[in-house]
Chains A and B, each alone.
Chain A
Amino acid sequence: GESVGLHLPTLSVQEGDNSIINCAYSNSASDYFIWYKQESGKGPQFIIDIRSNMDKRQGQRVTVLLNKTVKHLSLQIAATQPGDSAVYFCARGGQNFVFGPGTRLSVLP
């Protein structure tokens, strides 16, 4: 079956450094990927998305990279701040959203 997974369950970065969260997927028919941020006790919140006809998309302090050759996408957060501490999920969009298990990002002072 299809799956969306992450390389690391936890990630700790120093405040001000850049963060990179990785995700791998198995279904090459996927045409749309999304990154969500989930803070403790809250529902997931949309960060950024990317279509399969793109390699890169930038938002405010965030960049998503998509490598279709190796079925890998990453979320880069520039100048990580304490407010970025959360669990980050990649998901395959479409009719049946498939979420990965998440990576917990901890920002160290």
Chain B
Amino acid sequence: NAGVTQTPKFQVLKTGQSMTLQCAQDMNHNSMYWYRQDPGMGLRLIYYSASEGTTDKGEVPNGYNVSRLNKREFSLRLESAAPSQTSVYFCASSESLQGGNEQFFGPGTRLTVL
């Protein structure tokens, strides 16, 4: 099993450009998450999907959109990138939202917006 995979690993954008970060998991998990991690800080939840067909805002959703394409895939889109969105983005999945379900993380996408 590959676990949680993310593409791309690195990306540089100019202000105003758009892009989609891809995430897939092969653990048959119901719930998936997108986080951002800024230097020297913990992770902040952008959006999550409790199950296929549902998405909800997390702590910092502004400037982002998500799509739960199917049970395996959960994408994050930046419609008009801003320098404040320079960060490392992590996707995660878990069996469900219920407490006690460990989240498994992908390797991250390092995004720089110039």
Minimum CB–CB distance from A100 to chain B (whole Å) comes to: 5
Cβ of A45 and Cβ of B41 under 8 Å apart? no
The main secondary structure of chain A at its interface with chain B is: loop
Determine whether B53 belongs to the interface, using a CB cutoff of 8 Å to chain A: no
How many chain A residues touch the partner (CB < 8 A)? 25
Query: Of B40, B103, B106, which is within 8 A of A97 by CB?
Result: B103
Q: How far is the CA of A93 from the CA of B100 in the complex (A)?
A: 8
Q: How far is the CA of A94 from the CA of B58 in the complex (A)?
A: 12
- Given A95-B97, A96-B59, are A46 and B42 neighbors across the interface (CB < 8 Å)? no
B interface footprint on A1-26 (CB within 8 Å = 1, 0 otherwise): 00010000100000000000000000
Minimum CB–CB distance from A28 to chain B (whole Å) comes to: 15
**Interface of A toward B, CB cutoff 8 Å:** 4, 9, 31-32, 34, 41-46, 49, 51, 89, 91, 93-102
